[in-house]
Each structure stands twice: as C-alpha cells, then as structure tokens.
Homo-oligomer: A and B are copies of this chain.
C-alpha cells in the first residue's frame, strides 16, 4: 500500500504561486529573533513579554468519561485525572465546539463592558468582537478595506510587521512625517491634499499606533489626536488604531501601591486618569477601527484580542473570520474568562495593569539609566517613553565624521545603512539582540539617522546594564 521511492523528483512549485504567494517572505523580526535565541543572546529585539509577566503558571485538564476509557498500558488513570474544577456558568462543551466568530458570549460581554468603561465611544452603533490577535485582525482589515495597488497612510516609521503584511497584498505605504508628538497632521493633510492620482487611488485608510508607538515609543497627546482626527474627517479617511501598549503606562511606580491586595480607590482612579484619550473615544462618526490585544497585557500565546468599530465593519470582519480563523481558540477564551470574568472582574484587571505597568517602568528605568551611563552622549539621543515597550536610540548621522565614512567597507554609497548594519552585527556578535531602525522605515531607510529599537520587555532585569555596555562598545567600534 505504501511506496518508498528515494530520490524521486519533486515537483517545482514556483510557477504555481500567486502574486501574493510569490511575495510571501519570512518575517524579518522573527528571523532575527531566531538567530538571537540560538546563542544565549540578551534579547532587546522583538517585543516579547517576559514569561514572568504572564498571570498564569500552569494549566491542567480533566478527561471526559469517553477520554478516560482510552489509554495505553503505561498510562495509569492517576496521570490522566489531573484536575477537577467547576467551570461555573461557563459551558466547557460549548467552548470546545464551534463557537461564534465574535467570541463566546460571556467573554465578549466582558470586553464590551471593558470598552465602554475605558473608551465610552461617542456614537451608538459601535460593536466589539474578539479577534485571533491584532496581527490576524489587521490582515483581515487590510483585505476588507484595500484592493491590490491601494495606498495606506502610516507614520514614517511603523511596526515592521505591518510593512511586511502589506507588501504581499500589493499595498503601498505612505509614511507621514513625525515629530516628538508622533504623526504630524500638517504633513498628513499636505500629502492628501496634493495627492497625485497618477500614483493610484487616493488613500482612504490611516494606520496609526498612537501609544508607545512601535518603534519610536512616542505617545500622541490628545490635542495631536484631535488634529489628526479632523484631517481624517476632511479627507474621509478611516483610522485603524492599533493600540497594544495603551495600558502599559510607564509612570507605574507612582501609581501602584506597595500592596495591591489592599487596593484603595486612588490607584485605580489615578491610573484611569493617566490613560490617553483613544481615537475610539474621539470617534464621532464611526470611522475608527480600534485593535486591542491580550498579547502585551496577558500572554501572546493566547492568540486573542478584541476589536471595536461600527456595525458595518464588524459584520464583514466576522463574515471573513468564518472562512479563515473561524474564532479564537476555545481553551484561550476559557482561560481568559476564568481569569477576567470569574476571578478578577474589571477592577482586578485594572489592578493587574497597574502592577504590570509598574514592572515595565522598573525595567525601563534600569535600561534608560544604563543607556545614560554607557552610550556615547555625543552621538546618541533618545526620549524616555511614557508608554509601551520600546526605547528608540537615534545616532545623528550629521555627527559622523568622514572617518566613519571611509571605514565603510564595500564601496556602497549608503553609509547610513552600512553603519547601521555594522553596529547591529557587532552587537549581535557581542551577544545583544537589537532591532535596526530601517526595518521600521516605511520609505526603506531611516532618513539620514541611524536608529535602533531596544525593548526592555524580554530580557532579565539584571542583563539590561550589560546589554547597554555592549551596545555602546558596538557603536564605538564602528564609528569612533
């Protein structure tokens, strides 16, 4: 029945792939992280939360009567019967079956309440649904909102995953200038007002990361958001608000009490008052699609997030979901509901977020202090972020002398990207994983500066000082 013909000629698939398939390259961040992991590197690259920041430690299951009847001889029933727990109002069978694309009603209700509590969208017909994480949700949105050849507007630097997700879909990105408050509304308006139709259809989708911006760490102040919203209105742009870092507030030390179980009203009120005004909460005409995720505040492996938008968008999003991801994982939903719905409630979630923010603040402080001590101040500059996971280090290209340019090896004229790569490789060889700024540049280069994105989320606290030392060495060896 079975053949085994060694060395048989395997069909060549290349001519079979679609335009999209041909453009499906590997993720640059994942590839870079994989190199890092194989050689005991300090990971300041990918924004992966450290496992100590997940609220769960383990998971156990109890077998069903039918499941208990099966096993091989070595598998005693003691090993199969690990845990018994009443799941309360939650129907475990429903969760292991095919569920609603929008998520199970119980968990969805929690997130609807959460969105109302935090954002209180100013129009009536908003809806919230669960997603299989923001990466998945963004992919679906881009497909629903854009045809091949269309342009979308983003910050001049944006999450590399968004750049890489857009390309195989045949989308082009238009980067808007940024200052210390993020995307500049004047440049957005200018680019749209002077749009040359020979480039393609005028963009109708604005993608922004308004809090703890990836990669620059910038958080747009409210007046900036209001100005951008007005520009979006005047050009009838819809806004995809990708906001994974909204809750990671980096003045956490001042917010969290020393003992969170003795929660007083104040820390929560302080924390709520310090949260930014989301685009969703400014959204008078239902033009915002807000993406949120459990990845940065609970655990990435859940592959679960939530999305809020007007009915028309959510309905099509769910129709798409039914023929792609189908629904978020039942076990993931159950874990989230047991924690959020049955145990923590909204107040408990906020206390968790305050504590998490405090932990990230600690780490940021350690890394920022290490950078202050070790990085060459005549070359490097950075702004301490108030949100998120990233510190953006900028080396002014104008500070680079002709000597540095002469040291450039292979005769290419692009000194900036050559030096960026030299520093990146040098740091990696010294055991520190950092991310190149150009990976996040919509235009493909960092516009004259050499930039690096550092995260304080993944590495152990005690490794952060050493990491900054190694980065400083890497820079000095390449430039000075």
Contact = CB atoms under 8 A, between A and B. Distances in A.
Contact of A10 (B26, B101, B285, B316): B285
A52 B27 contact: no
A195 interface: no
Contact of A344 (B52, B64, B75): B75
A157 to B, nearest CB: 18
Contacts of A263: 72-73
Contacts of A328: 303, 329
A164 B326 CA distance: 13
Interface residues of A, number: 145
Contacts of A299: 96-97, 330
A93 B51 contact: yes
A1 B58 contact: no
Interface string A59-83: 1111111110111111100011011
Nearest to A322: B27
Interface string A291-329: 000010001111110000010110010111011111111
A150 B17 CA distance: 12
Contact of A144 (B17, B330, B343, B344): B17
Contacts of A95: 301
Stoichiometry, as copies per complex, reads 2
Nearest to A315: B26
Given A281-B1, A322-B27, A18 B143 contact: yes
A75 to B, nearest CB: 5
A407 interface: no
A349 to B, nearest CB: 9
6 contacts: A2-B281, A13-B310, A75-B343, A75-B348, A83-B85, A329-B332
Interface of A: 1-14, 16-21, 24-27, 30, 46, 48-49, 51-67, 69-75, 79-80, 82-87, 92-99, 101, 119-120, 122-125, 132-133, 135-136, 139, 143-147, 150, 161, 164-165, 168, 204-205, 222, 236, 238, 260-261, 263, 277, 281-282, 284-287, 295, 299-304, 310, 312-313, 316, 318-320, 322-332, 334-335, 338-339, 342-345, 347-348, 351-352, 355-356, 359
